[in-house]
Structure 1
Amino acid sequence: MADVKGTPSEVRKAAIASLFGSALEWYDFFLYGTAAALVFNTLFFPTFNPLVGTIAAFGTNAVGFLARPLGGVIFGHFGDRIGRKSMLVTTLVIMGVATCLIGLLPTYATVGVWAPVLLVTLRVVQGIAVGGEWGGGVLIVSEHAPSHRRGFYSAWSQTGVGLGFVLSAAAYALAQEVTTKESFLAWGWRIPFVVGILLTAVGLLIRLRIMETPAFQEKESEPKKSAPPLLDVIRTHPKSILIAFGARVAETGASYLFLTFSLSYASEIGVDKGVVLAALVVGMLFESFAMPMFGALSDRVGRRPVYIGGAIAVIVWAYPFFALFDSRNPVLIFVAIFVAVVIGHGAMIGTQPAFFTELFASRVAYSGLALGHELASMIVGGFSPIVATALLAWSGASWPIALFLIGMGLVTVFAVAAAPETNPNVLGDGKARQEAEAEEKTKPSDSSPIHS
């Protein structure tokens, strides 16, 4: 992408808006995963035995991931044609309304099979909204930021993702704290969902104040392309899409094992879920502010070394993670989650916004980011807790799950190793990339798969 940047004030405003908007939207999305691990098996699938009910609850969670590529395609198209800002406003409203309605749903005991049907329907709507949000949230910052600080500034959009999890987990911990077990199952679990509509209103006010990105505005002055952005990006950037997909395998697969499956695993081995939830909140809080540090590091040494370092950390920590859990020692469980989340996952997700943005030309960036990012979410992210639960049911032990983590880490290492370094300010690469951008403007379409 070309280095078309906003003023320092506009960059800061875009970063803040992306942070808060992403935090609120992902708060809504993560609420579901937490509820799936804690209560949905009992309330919406009571006719199954507990383990099968947990798999069914995680299955409805996965439905949201199946819908994410659809949201990415829809909002990516209009984000590349109409603008980033309008799509971010739309996705936030859709997510907020769907989340509030989940909190108002009747359970299986009230309406029978219609309860899980309605639950799945609203999860699909959530998936469509969040599938369209991520690419826009990243671009609204990265397309404002100068290339030499793009890693740092764009990582704040991911900080919003981390804080969204912290908010959702904290909301559930508070709801459990102020209710009895019976009242929590009866109505306490609904409170975080319903409160989400108020947070959505706050996020909406913030996002309406941001400007459209300079890169999109410059694109608008260029001759219009007739091909839909989705077809354009598949034709001109196939390698970039595959790299983004592969890079996300360890990042998204590991994150949902750490953040969602770990709660279910804790119950299986007799560990208080409250301990794990508290450890996740602390870990994600630290990770949220480690992300910009990893992004800044990628501005100095390049995107690839930092991203690969995070994937290797996941590989190395796979067995120790479960061994520390199996100790049932709360302190060691905190250590397991802290290292996995802050170092392994943090290095990848903090580098990801700048890395992925620089893989695509501005005219198709929204569609390209959405396609690569959300396909991985659908195939890997949504199903990794289900696979892990099935492996646990099959083996009765954690070692197959650790092998599963290692396999995902290796896929990401190979994918990122196959990518060129996209940071234009390292490896003496900046001049060549500037010349490539200048050449692109003289052509009606460019067939090169990498732009930065």
Structure 2
Amino acid sequence: MSIAELQLPPSALHGKKRVLTSAFVGTTVEWYDFYLYGTAAALIFNTQFFPAGSDVAGTLGAFATFAVGFLARPAGGIIAGHLGDRIGRKSLLVVSLITMGAASTAIGLLPNYATIGVFAVIGLVLLRLLQGLACGAEWGGSALLSVEHAPSRLRGFFGSFTQVGSAAGMLLATGSFAVAQALTTDEQFQAFGWRLPFLASAVLVVVGIYIRLGVEDAPAFRKLKVENRIAKAPVWEVLRYHKRALLVTIGLRLAQPALFAILAIYLINYLAARRDDTTSGVTAVLIGSAVGLASGPLWGWASDKWGRRNIALVAIAGIGLFIWPFFWFLDNGPLALLPIAMLLGMNILHDAIYGPQAAWFAEQFPVHVRYTGVSLGCQIGTVLSGGLTPVIAASLLLAGNNTPWLICAYISGLAVLSFIAALAAKDPVGDRLRDSDAHDEFEVAP
């Protein structure tokens, strides 16, 4: 996708390319590390670290530790938000990148259950906690670094470069496992092949750090520091004075991450168990992630042109409906057509919400508590939805007598809550479209 295709003036990107590259590359590395675990949980961890008992118990154990990383994300968001609103966005992003890379590399070196017993499980949980802390710190800072540097009418497009890092990270994570599986036999993959993608993280982190060190905080935040208007207790201020914005951002993070967890994580295990197919899901995720590199910026640009709310409302309603025929298709449809279903679910419904999300969340909070606000809203919402969805889905499948209707009802229920949140959210772009004199308070601080 070129600048000309999006009708962006060349001046809009003047001096901003390093910022966009930093947002994209840094977030890609972070998400690569985070998603490696999700793919490994679906493919290998149930036998490497949870071999005792039934296959179902092993799968639940693997997905439960996957959820641990999400549970740690609010803590990472709180810590990074407090420090990021006081000392700056850039410093926290470098620390989060190093932490994530170190944890992933250590997972690649961790002995399995057969070698050190329960200590393997303990080590895996602790490293997953570190991943969660780093991921909780990453998103808010990267989102703000791109959005706060953006021209006022291109925040959605600029913020999408942080968002699209998720698709790139998923593409790299899934692709690295596909390559490892292709280059090794089943026995070799079980023995050591699954470790190679984790060990590769160390190289990617070095690249990400190099790029991020060349970016400074946005002028609006630097002005706050010069004028000594930094929030002393940003977490408390968000909880006391910005409860509505916090609840809105939490609500907006319910349906979209849950759908993503179904499409990118749970799908692989579901097809392996129900249809003895371990490749179709991985292939579909790869295709959806590759297309997401273009669809994310496209939806970000669209939200700058037509408003965030209208696009989100249609997509959220679509998620609530889409999930029902999607599970029927997984059980009965020709899997050769799975990439088409993935494009509809991931690149149209999911990305229509996710692409503009960095800008939309940032627009809910004033600059002096923005890192804290967007981090808390994003990470709490993600814990309540995406982080728990794989283990909830596995449990609901059992509760539904091995039929997925309860999973579908769960996703549809989250969609209702997100729909309400979208109605309540501020939409400066929509306000400007309705009234050209509407005041933009994005860079205003008390």
TM-score (norm 2): 0.94
Q: 1:382, CA displacement in angstroms?
A: 1.2
Q: 1:248, CA displacement in angstroms?
A: 0.6
- Report Cα offsets for 1:392-428 as digits up to 9, x if no partner: 1222112221111111111111111122323276334
Paired residues for 1:23-422 under 5 Å: 23-225=28-230, 227-394=232-399, 395-422=401-428
Q: Is the 8 A contact 2:308 2:430 kept in 1?
A: no
Q: Which moved more, 1:113-122 or 1:205-214?
A: 205-214
Q: 1:227, CA displacement in angstroms?
A: 3.3
Q: Is the 8 A contact 2:255 2:316 kept in 1?
A: yes
Distance 2:442 2:54 in 1: 58
Change (3 A) 1:437 1:277: closer
Q: 1:226, CA displacement in angstroms?
A: 5.7
Q: 1:190, CA displacement in angstroms?
A: 0.2
Give the counterpart letter for 2:107 in structure 1: I
Q: Is the 8 A contact 1:300 1:426 kept in 2?
A: no
Q: 1:432, CA displacement in angstroms?
A: 3.8
Give the counterpart letter for 2:413 in structure 1: G
The secondary structure found in structure 1 opposite 2:365 is coil
Give the counterpart letter for 1:407 in structure 2: G
Distance 1:291 1:52 in 2: 36
Q: Is the 8 A contact 1:313 1:343 kept in 2?
A: no
The secondary structure found in structure 2 opposite 1:427 is helix
Give the counterpart letter for 2:98 in structure 1: V
Give the counterpart letter for 1:322 in structure 2: F
Q: 1:308, CA displacement in angstroms?
A: 1.5
The secondary structure found in structure 1 opposite 2:428 is coil
Q: Give unpaired runs (5+ residues) of structure 1.
A: 1-5, 446-452
Change (3 A) 1:198 1:343: same
Give the counterpart letter for 2:380 in structure 1: L
Give the counterpart letter for 1:301 in structure 2: W
Q: Which moved more, 1:102-111 or 1:337-346?
A: 337-346
- Report Cα offsets for 1:173-194 as digits up to 9, x if no partner: 1111111111111100000000
Distance 1:197 1:437 in 2: 37
Q: 1:67, CA displacement in angstroms?
A: 0.4
The residue aligned with 1:450 is: none
Q: 1:114, CA displacement in angstroms?
A: 0.4
- Report Cα offsets for 1:228-259 as digits up to 9, x if no partner: 11111222211000000000100111111111
- Report Cα offsets for 1:77-96 as digits up to 9, x if no partner: 11111111111111000100
What is the CA RMSD across the aligned residues, in angstroms?
Answer: 1.6
The residue aligned with 1:19 is: 24
Q: 1:429, CA displacement in angstroms?
A: 4.6
- Number of residues paired by the alignment? 435
Give the counterpart letter for 1:419 in structure 2: A
The secondary structure found in structure 1 opposite 2:433 is coil
Distance 1:358 1:98 in 2: 32
Distance 2:46 2:225 in 1: 49
- Report Cα offsets for 1:69-119 as digits up to 9, x if no partner: 000011111111111111111100010011000000000000000000000
Distance 1:228 1:412 in 2: 29
Q: 1:323, CA displacement in angstroms?
A: 1.6
Give the counterpart letter for 2:365 in structure 1: F
Distance 1:241 1:388 in 2: 27
- Report Cα offsets for 1:36-63 as digits up to 9, x if no partner: 1111110101112101110110000100
Q: 1:333, CA displacement in angstroms?
A: 1.8
Q: Is the 8 A contact 2:309 2:430 kept in 1?
A: no
Q: Is the 8 A contact 1:271 1:328 kept in 2?
A: no
- Report Cα offsets for 1:147-181 as digits up to 9, x if no partner: 10111111111111110000000000111111111
Q: Is the 8 A contact 2:431 2:438 kept in 1?
A: no
Q: Is the 8 A contact 1:301 1:426 kept in 2?
A: no
Give the counterpart letter for 2:348 in structure 1: I
Distance 1:355 1:10 in 2: 23
Q: Give unpaired runs (5+ residues) of structure 2.
A: 1-10
Q: 1:437, CA displacement in angstroms?
A: 6.8
